[in-house]
Amino acid sequence: MPDPEQERINQAAHLFKKSKFAVAFTGAGISVPSGIPDFRSPGGLWSKYDPLLVASAQALDNNPEQVWNFLLETSSLLDKAKPNPAHLSLAELEKQGRLQGVITQNIDNLHQKGGSRVVVEYHGNFQRFYCRECYREVPLSDIRQAEPSSVPLLCRECKGLVRPDVVFFGESIPQSAHARSLNLVQAADLILIAGTSGEVAPANTLPDKVKRNQGRIIEINLGRTAYTQISDIRFDGPVEEVLPKLADMILT
């Protein structure tokens, strides 16, 4: 009896080898094995905090101290996280010329820590902070040294409020990230969806664009998602297990 998962890995590897321009599209699920709970899941940060009260531009105006307590907690969680085999597999595929880039909805910097070079951050990066008045970049060491008693963090130059370079609730996607991700998906003949269920607009519309250009979709997710209907090959399993197996098969 052939192993059905192995069969699908062979088929997916075949699609990868045939493809001329493959991209990956990732979300919270790829970082869960690195110890970062999905903000949206039970036990995730949004079950503890109301996102509108801690992660919106309005909240930063009205209650900067509360926002900053949340930012410090998130920062220490993300600082400790290390890339897992799924991140490392994507970096290796890129290094070997089989993947042209990663579009991620994550803000945790783990693709870069894992070695990926072309990374489009749809929702920003929590390792970058800047002053919202003068736009001066604030070194991460300042954030790491901040104490709960010294927040909110203010700009040394102009005393403006410091904020992370992430997309807060109610804010729009940075124009450059949107343009870069469109360029990637419009060139793509294959998109690998890993750890994202397709609930957050407008990032969730990217795989459709590949499909419309007759590209292929490979999905690795736990359970059914918005992409299940349009995926050519689908793996219902842990991304940190499936992706290394797939990468091995592509690279042998």
The distance of closest approach from Cβ of residue 7 to Zn ion in the complex, given in angstroms and rounded to an integer, is: 57
User: Does residue 193 interact with Zn ion by CB under 5 A?
Assistant: no
The smaller minimum CB distance to Zn ion, of residues 131 and 143, is found at 131
On the CB side of 125, how many CA atoms lie within 13 Å of its CA?
15
Q: Which two tokens stand for residue 43?
A: 């036990």
User: Does residue 156 interact with Zn ion by CB under 5 A?
Assistant: no
Choices 7-15, 117-125, 150-158, 237-245 (CB under 5 A): range interacting with Zn ion: 150-158
Please tell me which residue in 14, 87, 111, 123 is annotated as part of the active site: 123
The smaller minimum CB distance to Zn ion, of residues 17 and 156, is found at 156
Q: Which run of H or of E encompasses 119?
A: strand 119-121
The smaller minimum CB distance to Zn ion, of residues 158 and 179, is found at 158
User: Does residue 138 interact with Zn ion by CB under 5 A?
Assistant: no
The smaller minimum CB distance to Zn ion, of residues 133 and 241, is found at 133
User: Does residue 115 interact with Zn ion by CB under 5 A?
Assistant: no
The distance of closest approach from Cβ of residue 158 to Zn ion in the complex, given in angstroms and rounded to an integer, is: 3
User: Does residue 137 interact with Zn ion by CB under 5 A?
Assistant: no
Exposure string over 94-131, b if 16+ CB within 10 A, otherwise e: beeebbbbbbbbbbbbbbbbbebeebbbbbbbbbbbbb
User: Does residue 155 interact with Zn ion by CB under 5 A?
Assistant: yes
| Residues of span 157-186 touching Zn ion by CB under 5 A | 157-158, 160
Q: Which two tokens stand for residue 88?
A: 């490392």
Tally of helices (H runs) and strands (E runs) in the chain: 11, 9
User: Does residue 247 interact with Zn ion by CB under 5 A?
Assistant: no
Exposure string over 139-177, b if 16+ CB within 10 A, otherwise e: eeeebeebeeeebbbbbeeeeebbbbbbbbeeeebbeeb
The distance of closest approach from Cβ of residue 197 to Zn ion in the complex, given in angstroms and rounded to an integer, is: 38
How many beta carbons lie within 10 A of that of residue 18, not counting itself?
Answer: 11
What is the Cα–Cα distance from 182 to 139, expressed in whole angstroms?
Answer: 30
Contact 90, 114 (CB under 8 A): yes
User: Does residue 192 interact with Zn ion by CB under 5 A?
Assistant: no
Is 123 an active-site residue? yes
The smaller minimum CB distance to Zn ion, of residues 2 and 139, is found at 139
Q: Which of 74, 27, 53 is nearest to 199 (CA)?
A: 27
Binding site for Zn ion (CB under 5 A): 131, 133-134, 136, 155, 157-158, 160
* Residue positions annotated with a catalytic role: 123
